[in-house]
């Protein structure tokens, strides 16, 4: 293995993308226009919705697609690729179209998060990386949003770098967690690259380095008087940690007129400790001292301790967020839905005995209906690309998984969710800042009814197919994929 090799993400693809590409080339199909949808089948943790994330990295990847001489020499050394195909890869560039829902959008199973329209080799080659980045960041953004909602408006910080599965998982995971609603991260490089505000104070080792806990606290307060959050559970949280923190605040911060400070618990019974600590701090004249808790937290634990009466101002959430430990896979897939022949779009479908794996064919549009009276999302609607939605009157929708469940939608506004990202290989999307993405995400989640957002048995949100799309799908199903 050449450990000094410079990574080219174009080569981060499953090998069969290249063998298929070689086959398309040799069979005269390299210019065949294809349509692929990237979607997922099930919300992690049996939740009501997911959060789309990762588009920014998709854009960077598409713009940098190219094969180096080293890449081509490696492929040539495998002895299975046509020389004409390798020459084609030498000048490789993405020339197709990509449509996607903006990052931070709540999404539901089987909806196209991203659609690629491109020549077959190009569309096939990008599959692995698009799935990798969308799956990972959507998973973490979704988990983060669950945790943030459980925290009921209290600060949530991402603390998981040391438990992430690799550097990219830590760096991009912090980004995705911020999109999902976290207020900051412990990951310094994510602040440097993306502006996800990094913060942190001390570990237990700081306290252990000094002769006494009080000396450690006083020293830290002198060094960082405007950001003094002290870790109080190195020895005995209530008998020494909190009392010594109060002594340090009194000795160092009070003479400076500083009232902003904090303590953190990283172990123990968080409900009991925070209740006792809050009283001790208040009795000592430090009502503004914040209490942060950490240690293997997730949305369920946060929900439980708040219900029990824990007095917490901020949560530091690590391994169970950055790895989405409760369900660490976002099952996004990338499926062919149409090809172009002689100027016409020919729909394609994947049929399976496992009905969950049957795809929705054709080049589609995706709409979200919002009630004009409430501003809340009512339902999503998938239709064939040349269909339009008239939102001036009543509209009948049904659940395609249970066609007997019908609903009349009225007084609504229809918004198309996918927007153009690349057209003819050129970026046409005005990239929002990370702050704008996070703000948009929280606004869009707020458009969902509470019944959709609950953790247990969330309401089944309607994702409808237009009558034309449903009829087409049924025809393809009954004719074994043929029209």
Rounded Cα distance, 381 and 36, in Å: 19
Residue 217: closest CA among 231, 205, 203, 227: 231
Question: Considering the domain boundaries, does residue 361 fall inside one?
Answer: yes
Among 268, 292, 322, identify where a domain stops: 322
Rounded Cα distance, 203 and 185, in Å: 15
pLDDT at residue number 401:
62
Q: Say whether pLDDT at 405 is over 80.
A: no
Give yes or no: residues 297 and 185 share one domain.
yes
Q: Given the structure tokens 């080569």, which residue do they identify?
A: 11
Rounded Cα distance, 304 and 121, in Å: 51
Task: Give the mean model confidence (pLDDT) for residues 251-268.
Answer: 97
Q: Say whether pLDDT at 6 is over 90.
A: no
Rounded Cα distance, 283 and 403, in Å: 62
Rounded Cα distance, 334 and 348, in Å: 13
Rounded Cα distance, 389 and 372, in Å: 16
pLDDT at residue number 5:
63
Give yes or no: residues 102 and 183 share one domain.
no
* pLDDT tens, residue by residue, 222-249: 999 999 999 999 999 999 999 999 999 9
Give yes or no: residues 31 and 65 share one domain.
yes
Give yes or no: residues 414 and 448 share one domain.
yes
Give yes or no: residues 166 and 293 share one domain.
yes
Give yes or no: residues 61 and 191 share one domain.
no
Question: Considering the domain boundaries, does residue 2 fall inside one?
Answer: no
Helical axes 69-77 vs 83-90, angle rounded to 10°: 160
Q: Given the structure tokens 């980045």, which residue do they identify?
A: 133
Among 322, 352, 371, identify where a domain stops: 322
| Parallel/antiparallel/unpaired status of strands 290-293 and 314-317 | parallel
Task: With beta carbons less than 8 A apart as the criterion, state whether 118 and 62 touch.
Answer: no
Give yes or no: residues 110 and 236 share one domain.
no
For residue 102, give every residue at least 6 positions away whose Cβ sits within 8 Å of its Cβ, in sequence order, or none.
52, 55, 419, 432, 437, 440
| Parallel/antiparallel/unpaired status of strands 344-347 and 426-427 | unpaired
Q: Say whether pLDDT at 393 is over 90.
A: no
Q: Say whether pLDDT at 409 is over 90.
A: no
* pLDDT tens, residue by residue, 306-364: 999 999 999 999 999 999 999 999 999 999 999 999 989 999 999 998 988 999 999 99
For residue 173, give every residue at least 6 positions away whose Cβ sits within 8 Å of its Cβ, in sequence order, or none.
136, 137, 140, 158, 160, 164, 321, 322
- What percentage of the chain's residues is helix, strand, coil (to nearest 5)? 40, 20, 40
Burial class (CB in 10 A: 0-12, 13-18, 19+), 20: middle
Q: Say whether pLDDT at 1 is over 80.
A: no
pLDDT at residue number 49:
98
Rounded Cα distance, 83 and 68, in Å: 15
Question: Considering the domain boundaries, does residue 1 fall inside one?
Answer: no
* pLDDT tens, residue by residue, 175-223: 999 999 999 999 999 999 999 999 988 999 999 999 999 999 999 999 9
* pLDDT tens, residue by residue, 63-73: 999 999 999 99
* pLDDT tens, residue by residue, 21-76: 999 999 999 999 999 999 999 999 999 999 999 999 999 999 999 999 999 999 99
Rounded Cα distance, 131 and 370, in Å: 29
Q: What phi and psi, each to the nearest 5 degrees, are found at residue 258? A: -95, 125
Task: Give the mean model confidence (pLDDT) for residues 372-397.
Answer: 90
Residue 6: closest CA among 69, 55, 51, 59: 69
Question: Considering the domain boundaries, does residue 305 fall inside one?
Answer: yes
Give yes or no: residues 405 and 368 share one domain.
yes
Give yes or no: residues 148 and 263 share one domain.
yes
Q: Say whether pLDDT at 407 is over 80.
A: no
Question: Considering the domain boundaries, does residue 3 fall inside one?
Answer: no
Triad 377, 461, 157: Cα angle to 5° = 75
Among 296, 322, 348, identify where a domain stops: 322
Give yes or no: residues 333 and 418 share one domain.
yes
CATH code of the domain covering residue 360:
3.20.140.10
Question: Considering the domain boundaries, does residue 83 fall inside one?
Answer: yes
Give yes or no: residues 121 and 194 share one domain.
no
Q: How many CA atoms lie within 13 A of 102 on its CB side?
A: 21
pLDDT at residue number 359:
97
Question: Considering the domain boundaries, does residue 216 fall inside one?
Answer: yes
Give exposure, 303-326, as e/b (b: 16+ Cβ within 10 Å): bebbeeebbbbbbbbbbbbbbbee
**How many domains in the chain?**
2
CATH code of the domain covering residue 231:
3.20.20.70
Question: Considering the domain boundaries, does residue 82 fall inside one?
Answer: yes
Mean pLDDT value across the chain: 95
Q: Given the structure tokens 């994947």, which residue do they identify?
A: 350
Q: What phi and psi, each to the nearest 5 degrees, are found at residue 184? A: 180, -175
Give yes or no: residues 208 and 105 share one domain.
no
Percent of the chain with pLDDT over 90: 91
Residue 450 lies in domain: 9-140+328-478
Q: Say whether pLDDT at 404 is over 70.
A: no
């Amino acid at each position: 293995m050449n450990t000094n090799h410079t990574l080219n993400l174009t080569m981060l693809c499953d090998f069969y993308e290249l063998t298929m590409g070689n086959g398309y080339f040799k069979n005269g199909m390299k210019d065949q226009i294809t349509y692929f949808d990237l979607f997922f089948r099930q919300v992690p943790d049996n939740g009501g919705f997911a959060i789309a994330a990762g588009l920014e990295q998709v854009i960077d990847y598409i713009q940098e697609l190219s094969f180096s001489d080293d890449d081509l020499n490696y492929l040539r050394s495998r002895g299975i690729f046509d020389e004409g195909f390798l020459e084609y890869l030498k000048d490789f560039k993405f020339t197709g179209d990509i449509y996607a829902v903006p990052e931070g959008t709540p999404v539901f199973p089987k909806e196209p998060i991203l659609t690629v329209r491109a020549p077959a080799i190009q569309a096939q080659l990008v599959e692995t990386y698009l799935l990798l980045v969308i799956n990972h960041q959507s998973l973490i953004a979704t988990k983060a949003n669950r945790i943030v909602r459980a925290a009921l408006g209290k600060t949530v910080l991402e603390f998981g770098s040391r438990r992430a599965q690799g550097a990219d998982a830590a760096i991009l995971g912090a980004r995705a967690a911020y999109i999902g609603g976290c207020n900051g991260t412990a990951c310094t490089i994510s602040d440097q690259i993306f502006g996800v505000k990094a913060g942190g104070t001390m570990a237990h080792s700081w306290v252990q380095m000094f002769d006494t806990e009080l000396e450690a606290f006083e020293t830290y307060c002198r060094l960082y008087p405007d950001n003094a959050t002290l870790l109080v559970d190195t020895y005995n949280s209530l008998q020494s940690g909190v009392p010594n923190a109060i002594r340090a605040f009194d000795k160092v911060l009070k003479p400076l007129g500083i009232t902003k400070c904090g303590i953190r618990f990283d172990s123990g019974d968080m409900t009991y400790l925070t209740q006792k600590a809050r009283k001790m701090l208040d009795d000592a004249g430090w009502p503004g001292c914040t209490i942060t808790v950490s240690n293997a937290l997730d949305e369920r634990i946060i929900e439980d301790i708040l219900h029990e009466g824990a007095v917490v101002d901020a949560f530091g959430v690590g391994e169970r967020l950055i790895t989405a430990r409760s369900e660490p896979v976002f099952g996004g897939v990338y499926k062919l839905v149409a090809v172009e022949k002689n100027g016409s779009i020919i729909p394609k479908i994947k049929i399976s005995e496992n009905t969950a794996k049957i795809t929705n064919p054709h080049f589609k549009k995706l709409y979200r209906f919002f009630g004009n009276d409430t501003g809340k999302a009512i339902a999503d609607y998938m239709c064939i690309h040349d269909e339009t939605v008239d939102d001036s009157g009543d509209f009948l929708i049904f659940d395609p998984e249970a066609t007997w469940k019908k609903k009349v939608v009225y007084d609504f506004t229809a918004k198309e969710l996918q927007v153009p990202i690349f057209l003819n290989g050129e970026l046409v999307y005005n990239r929002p800042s990370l702050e704008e993405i996070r703000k948009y995400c929280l606004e869009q989640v707020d458009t969902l009814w509470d019944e959709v957002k609950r953790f247990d048995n969330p309401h089944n949100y309607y994702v409808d197919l237009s009558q034309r799309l449903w009829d087409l799908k049924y025809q393809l199903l009954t004719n074994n994929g043929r029209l």
